[in-house]
Structure 1
Amino acid sequence: MTTPSLKISFRGTEFTLTVLAVLAFVVLALTTHGSVLHGDTLTAIFQFLAVPMVIGLAQMAVLGVGQMNLSVGVVTGFCAMVTAWLMVDVGLPAWLALLAGLATGAAIGLVNGLIVVLTRINGFIVTLATMTIIDGLRYGVHGTATYQGYSPGLVRLGQGSVLGVPTVFLFAVLVAIAVAVFFRHVTVGRQLLASGGNPLAARLSGVSNDRSLVLAHLLSGLLAGVAGVIVVALSGSVNATIGDDLLLPSFAAPIIGGVALAGGVISVVGTCLAALIVRLVDVAQAQYSINPDWVDLIVGAVVLGAVLITQLRGRAAT
């Protein structure tokens, strides 16, 4: 099923990102007189890396079939609100509310995929519409209320650590491993990449491109739901603004990490490393009191540069 164009990762890109992450961390440590090496700071860095990692993987799933999901941020926020609402107002136990949050994300992703397949409208437009609808639901149904005081045990777990490593970060790493195994070793995952790399060849090989599209959007929605439940466990309070600032990071991580916009090529490791680099940029903003608008400008410029470099590589290869 695989062809030379259906690589799982750009090893050169991953190595480069590893070097950049190490250098960025060393520079931060030196210029802040070691403050980023303090236990509390390191914990905060990796705690708040979990959501960008999973959000990047959610966007990566649809990029693998050459589509985009503009709704990942608001879906994350909506799933977080549904989970918290079920615990606070409905009184469901935490484990059942978390499952409902995951199911909500998967259901939204499934609807996105089915609309794309049935209408033949590009996922960019479909998810733009669903993003607007879900955004309206967040504020229209729940208003600006904040849900808090839910499951102290869940919050302790979300803010806890194992051997000094935050539990939410360890959970995000396990999610990344599961996603990597899915695309590398599971048949439908490999077929998804085949559909993204060369839809005609995939169809001639007996692969359903429609099924791949639906599956990619479903997986993206599920991962957004995972990010939502991480937010619930980590923050201890949830309101309608959750997810509003996640759209740019969702694209930044996979694109910088070496994922092909045209589909067929993904990089789980590259996506996670790029999410770490973006997180270090946020840390630098806080440490140096940089205007947040400049941070967005820098991240946006890096994403644009990564896209241009990918385009130039593609032209050089042809």
Structure 2
Amino acid sequence: MTLSATDRVTRRGRHLWRTPEFTLGVIVATGFLALAFATGGNLLSAGTLEAFFRFLAVPIVIGLSQMVVLAVGQMNLSVGALTGFCAMAAAWLMIEAGFPAPVAVPAALLLGLVAGLINGALVVLTRINGFIVTLATMTIIQGLRYGVNGPDTYQGYSEGLRAFGRASILGLPAVFLVAIAVAVAVALFFSRTVTGRQLLASGGSPFAARLSGISNDRSVIIAHGLSGLLAGVAAVITVSASGSVNATIGDDLLLPSFAAPIIGGVALTGGMVSVAGTVLAAFLVRLVDVMQAQFGINPRWVDLIIGAVVLGAVLLGTIRQRVRERST
């Protein structure tokens, strides 16, 4: 039976409540309201909300950075270290080399892109799993990051860039709006471009993709390159929003980078993405961070909670996949 466009929209609306994104949205809304009530409305104050969304920008972008490599069945353990390295490089260019922000920012993005392309090329050339390759490059990048300025902190760089990090538009931080714009661009890339659909095809069934004339090696390199570029974006947001950077920047981003897409419904096996789910999951992880700060919870317990949720999401995704395979 052929469905008209109206019928497809109607059916999609009827089944919207069954989607993981809808469920996650309900959980996020409930958690936000519960936390607002528990803090006596403090979470809803203008200053607190602005800080909440400002520090949500990096988790969103870093989650998308991990999501694009998960789309082709790969992992990128170097996203956090690469974000920190790009941030340190941008600060070095502005302070030590004397370049203005309009030069340092594109340089940081280019550095992330090149590092990502190197990751992808190493995976393709060595035929070693991306998990191992990026584990090695993560260690190398951490050493390079420390070598930029040692344990010292870079601060006092471009006032214009720092002003942008503090700026708000219609009550929302500018850096958060940048993160949302990046999310929209990533969604359009996978849904509207040939290259994006080829990445999903390579992740879903490499054999079928190869029979269709799609280069799986090219898809892997592009995915890692895009992941590195997004890590560069996260670095620029970090530099502008924080006002100072040091060699520890990025060390705490690895777990959130996996938590956002996996909790958001992205499969580890590749072939699918969920930009909305990744953004909502980053929001949920940020809620947990706020809860930890508000109630003085040991950060180790927060890591335990997030890790357990990620493990549960992986198990649920595996069960869902097996059910689908049996029903087809």
By the TM > 0.5 criterion, same fold?
yes
2:144 is aligned, of 137, 146, 166, to 137
Deviation at 1:141, TM superposition (A): 3.8
- SS of 2:19's partner is helix
Q: Does 1:184 align with 2:191?
A: yes
Match of 2:67 in 1: 60
Query: Where do 5+ consecutive residues of structure 1 fail to align?
Result: 1-8
Shifted more, 295-304 versus 145-154: the winner is 145-154
Q: What's the counterpart of residue 125 of structure 1?
A: 132
Question: Secondary structure at the residue paired with 2:250?
Answer: coil
**Residue of structure 2 in register with 1:224 after alignment:** 231
CA contact (8 A) 1:88 1:150 kept: yes
Q: 1:213 aligns with which of 204, 220, 224?
A: 220
Corresponding residue number in structure 1 for 2:287: 280
Q: Does 1:196 align with 2:197?
A: no
**Aligned alpha-carbon RMSD (Å):** 1.1
Written as runs of structure 1 = structure 2, the 5 A alignment for 1:13-24 is 13-24=20-31
Which deviations, in whole Å up to 9, do the C-alpha atoms of 1:253-298 show, x marking residues without a partner?
Answer: 0000000100001100000000000000001111111111110000
Q: Which residue of 2 aligns with 1:29?
A: 36
1:237 aligns with 2:244: yes
Distance 1:145 1:222 in 2: 26
Match of 1:258 in 2: 265
The one-letter code sitting in structure 2 at the alignment partner of 1:34 is G
In 2: Cα distance, 1:289 partner to 1:232 partner: 27
Q: Contact 1:10 / 1:267 at 8 angstroms: preserved in 2?
A: no
Q: Show structure 2 runs of 5+ residues with no match.
A: 1-15
Aligned identity (percent) is 67
Change (3 A) 1:267 1:10: farther
Q: Distance in 1 between matches of 2:115 and 2:211?
A: 30
Which residue type is aligned with residue 295 of structure 1? V
Alpha carbons 1:24, 1:280 under 8 Å: kept: yes
Deviations 1:228-256 (A, max 9, x none): 00000101111000000000000000000
| 1:105 paired residue among 99, 106, 112 | 112
- Structure of higher RCO (CA pairs closer than 8 Å, 6+ residues apart): 1
Instruction: Please say if residues 66 and 196 of structure 1, whose CA atoms lie closer than 8 Å, have aligned partners that are also in contact.
Output: yes
Cα 1:178–1:11, aligned 2, differ >3 Å: closer, same or farther?
Answer: farther
Shift of residue 142, structure 1, vs aligned partner: 2.1
Partner of 1:56: helix, strand, or coil? Answer: helix
Computing the radius of gyration over CA atoms, which structure comes out larger, 1 or 2? 2
Instruction: Tell me, yes or no, if structure 1 residue 308 matches structure 2 residue 315.
Output: yes
Q: Return the offset for 1:11.
A: 6.6
2:56 to 44, 49, 53: 49
Aligned residues: 310
Pick closer, same or farther for the CA change 1:60–1:11 going to 2, 3 Å: farther
Give the letter for the 1:192 counterpart: L
Structure 1 residues 33 and 234, CA gap change in structure 2 (3 angstroms): same
Change (3 A) 1:198 1:101: same
Structure 1 distance, partners of 2:93, 2:137, is 22
Q: Structure 2 counterpart of 1:282, which letter?
A: D
The answer (yes or no) to whether the contact 1:73–1:243 under 8 Å persists in 2 is yes
Identify the residue that residue 153 of structure 2 maps to in structure 1. 146
- Show the counterpart of 1:4: none
CA contact 2:92–2:148 (8 Å) conserved in 1: no
CA distance in 2, matches of 1:55, 1:205: 31
Amino acid in structure 2 at the alignment position of 1:207: I
4+ aligned runs moved over 6 Å, structure 1: none
- Counterpart-to-counterpart distance in 2, 1:10 and 1:251: 25
- Distance in 2 (alpha carbons) for counterparts of 1:24 and 1:272: 15
**Which stretch of structure 1 is more off in the superposition, 11-20 or 77-86?**
11-20
Residue type at the aligned position of 2:232 = G
Distance across 2 between alignment mates of 1:309 and 1:130: 31
